[in-house]
Amino acid sequence: MRVAILAHEGFPDRAKTAVGLLRYADDEVAAVLDRTRAGERVRDHVPDVQDAPIVEGIDDVETSIDALVVGIAPIGGGFDETWRPDVRGALERGADVVAGLHYFLGDDAEFADLAAEHDCEIRDLRRPPEDLTVSDGTASEVDAEVVLTVGTDCSSGKMTTTFELAEAAREWGVDAGVVPTGQTGIAIEGYGIAVDRVVSDFAAGAVERMVTERAADFDVLFVEGQGAVGHPAYSGVTTSILHGAMPDRLVLCHVAGRDAVHGYEHVSIPPPGEYAALYESLAEPVAPAEVVAGALNTQRLDEDAAAADAVEAYADAIDAPATDPVRFDASEILPAVLGEE
Amino acid sequence: MRVAILAHEGFPDRAKTAVGLLRYADDEVAAVLDRTRAGERVRDHVPDVQDAPIVEGIDDVETSIDALVVGIAPIGGGFDETWRPDVRGALERGADVVAGLHYFLGDDAEFADLAAEHDCEIRDLRRPPEDLTVSDGTASEVDAEVVLTVGTDCSSGKMTTTFELAEAAREWGVDAGVVPTGQTGIAIEGYGIAVDRVVSDFAAGAVERMVTERAADFDVLFVEGQGAVGHPAYSGVTTSILHGAMPDRLVLCHVAGRDAVHGYEHVSIPPPGEYAALYESLAEPVAPAEVVAGALNTQRLDEDAAAADAVEAYADAIDAPATDPVRFDASEILPAVLGEE
């Protein structure tokens, strides 16, 4: 698949889906749409992913594309009307449109008509299956080992850590799969349910279904966590994933130096050791699991030496091996994550 | 309002909404529909609520009614097709139909047509408002004192305790209101959002909205909790309510002698003291709150003396005053609940 990624006014820092696709997906990225950076290139901002031109809008994408992917997710998940010409233009070119917004583009009359007219497809990644049910509390019975990434905040590296661990495990010859629970992971894997969009009663059930399905295909599953259990808005999603997945082990993701919840600066983030204990206490009554490793996002630290020091301090704080899976190497924590330590 | 309550094959033990309405609502109950108990009376089964005849079906309700309320909620929230003649009959008589199912009766073509034809209304209590948003993390700023009931399981007495505490507080002259979060509470209050039916991302936001709205009208709010934080299917809803409401104090509800999650017998319920500590740990990062009192459901104990012993042991276990608010008196824990101890 060759795709263009819409990331207006957000690339790269507020365009998590765009960067995730550039880094992990098999798709070829023809262009990134960001009208504030037109003329620049992806590698000017993110050095270690596939390169592509950044353009003003869909009409500036010169090659043919199979799909336009909406690569930013504003808080609340709304559709920005300034994106309409790009979505319209993509459909008029016969390209599919893939989006992970709360607002379903497939329900937009203009887009639905255009898609029908040009014989292309609108895929709303957050639209949940219609036959979800409550959890049976049985995910712990699957044959696969289940590892869940949990975090001290949103955007703390859970999705990245999940994919980095799966890649590292595969390099070690482990038959590892990913269970994506958010729009970026789903876009990358072409599989998954956006748990934050599921009716609360069925959220754990949705995770249980995915773990059960994927356990039939893999020996080890890396489940992508969402939110944080101390997040004022998203903790319910976090808890549903923890109890729906019934993981064997947890990996705690944290951003070095972040001490307040992003967007909720009045809410402090507890120290990592306390946070790890809180996840373990919450897991205990349903399916006990320990935080066996940590992933520290050291992006904001310029020097590798400072990042290494931060990782070491983080490992001490959570009393488990840690790494920065992007800056350093996910395989450093793999033995602990796989239960081999 | 005069209402009939549908509770086929479930009255009274599996008809929580029916019993809640009989006990707490201002509505006059003309009849309970339960085809397995036709000819009996409400008071044959539940002694301390308003009495009414139990009948076979809607055609046996002899007085005029304003509404038929569906008073049972099967696991999964589906519609039982054997109820169709009763719903149809109610609409044909011009009565409204009120239901708290996941399956929305208003979306059923036959019922929608009948409602239009007979100029009556179908109210699906679980249908969430369309303009919900993520939480801002601001419920702790409201002027009212906020008390949340939490539980060690589903059906452990949270709704009952919420209403009993509000009634007891009003008797003491406190300007107390209820924030209902489930279909029965909503049916009783004529206000509320069924949080379990809200998209996960917006569940805490829905609670925050209700707390903020109702805090303008009352000095003390009793928020109805849902599920339990150690429940394999519903813990996400529980957590969303805890963090969305940001309560000042918690009341822990438990069923005497219950040691496994209802319907999930392979999942043990931790001891009450540990459970209280878990709620406090989970509240801490967002808005600290302590379990200040306990409500023990002693329904299964025949003797008052045994029930009193169980309450005393429960109070010791959670290190806080406790009562059975139905068998004994909610006012026993009111000073602690109101923060006056």
Of the candidates A232, A243, A281, the beta carbon closest to that of B204 is on A232
Put simply, the answer to whether B240 touches A236 (Cβ < 8 Å) is: yes
Residue B301 and residue B167 share a domain: yes
Residue B154 and residue B107 share a domain: no
pLDDT of A128-146, one tens digit each? Answer: 999 999 999 999 999 999 9
The pLDDT value recorded for residue A341 is 65
Domain range for B321? 139-337
Nearest CA in chain B to A234: B201
- Asked if the structure places residue B130 within a domain, the reply is no
Put simply, the answer to whether B199 touches A201 (Cβ < 8 Å) is: no
Query: Of A89, A124, A159, which marks where a domain is finished?
Result: A124
pLDDT of B78-121, one tens digit each? Answer: 899 999 999 999 999 999 999 988 889 999 999 999 999 999 99
User: What's the ipTM?
Assistant: 0.91
Nearest CA in chain B to A208: B233
- Asked if the structure places residue A10 within a domain, the reply is yes
Of the candidates A195, A243, A275, the beta carbon closest to that of B235 is on A243
Q: Is the peptide bond before A270 cis (omega within 30 degrees of 0)?
A: no
Residue B165 and residue B91 share a domain: no
> Mind telling me how many Å the CA of A331 is from chain B's nearest CA?
31
Nearest CA in chain A to B241: A236
- Asked if the structure places residue A312 within a domain, the reply is yes
Residue B255 and residue B145 share a domain: yes
Residue B40 and residue B88 share a domain: yes
> Mind telling me how many Å the CA of A134 is from chain B's nearest CA?
6
- Asked if the structure places residue B40 within a domain, the reply is yes
Residue A173 and residue A97 share a domain: no
Distance CA A19, CA A11 (A): 8
Distance CA A125, CA A187 (A): 7
Residue B203 and residue B109 share a domain: no
The residue among B181, B200, B258, B282 with the most chain A CBs within 10 A of its CB, best to mutate, is: B200
Question: Which residues of chain A fall short of a pLDDT of 50?
Answer: none
User: What's the CATH code of the domain at A158?
Assistant: 3.40.50.300
Residue A268 and residue A155 share a domain: yes
Residue A114 and residue A147 share a domain: no
Put simply, the answer to whether B235 touches A286 (Cβ < 8 Å) is: yes
The residue among B190, B192, B285, B269 whose CA lies nearest residue B235 is B269
3-state secondary structure of B337: helix
Query: Of A59, A94, A124, which marks where a domain is finished?
Result: A124
Which residues does A320 contact at the CB level (< 8 Å), separation at least 6? A252, A276, A291, A292, A293, A294, A336
Query: Of A124, A150, A166, which marks where a domain is finished?
Result: A124
Residue B162 and residue B63 share a domain: no
Put simply, the answer to whether B197 touches A198 (Cβ < 8 Å) is: no
The residue among A200, A235, A258 with the most chain B CBs within 10 A of its CB, best to mutate, is: A200
The pLDDT value recorded for residue B190 is 83
Of the candidates B200, B230, B266, the beta carbon closest to that of A200 is on B200
> Mind telling me how many Å the CA of A128 is from chain B's nearest CA?
10
> Mind telling me how many Å the CA of A275 is from chain B's nearest CA?
9
The domain total for chain A is: 2
The pLDDT value recorded for residue B341 is 65
3-state secondary structure of A275: helix
Q: In chain A, which residues have their Cβ closer than 8 Å to the Cβ of B236?
A: 200, 203-204, 236-240, 243
Of the candidates B199, B232, B244, the beta carbon closest to that of A243 is on B232
3-state secondary structure of A341: coil
CA distances to A159, A219, A225, A341 from A253, rounded to whole Å, are: 10, 23, 10, 20
Take residue A114 and report the two structure tokens written for it.
Answer: 């255009």
The interaxial angle of helices B235-245 and A203-215, nearest 10 deg, is 140
Nearest CA in chain B to A272: B285
Q: In chain B, which residues have their Cβ closer than 8 Å to the Cβ of A284?
A: 230, 270, 278
Residue B212 and residue B321 share a domain: yes
> Mind telling me how many Å the CA of A61 is from chain B's nearest CA?
34
Residue B151 and residue B94 share a domain: no
Question: Which residues of chain B fall short of a pLDDT of 50?
Answer: none
- Asked if the structure places residue B129 within a domain, the reply is no
- Asked if the structure places residue B298 within a domain, the reply is yes
The pLDDT value recorded for residue A74 is 78
- Asked if the structure places residue B265 within a domain, the reply is yes
Put simply, the answer to whether A233 touches B266 (Cβ < 8 Å) is: no
Q: In chain B, which residues have their Cβ closer than 8 Å to the Cβ of A199?
A: 102, 196-200
Size of interface A-B (CB pairs under 8 A): 165
Do β-strands B264-268 and B260-261 pair in parallel, antiparallel, or remain unpaired?
A: antiparallel
- Asked if the structure places residue A204 within a domain, the reply is yes
Strand partners for B132: none
The pLDDT value recorded for residue B8 is 97
User: What's the CATH code of the domain at A38?
Assistant: 3.40.50.720
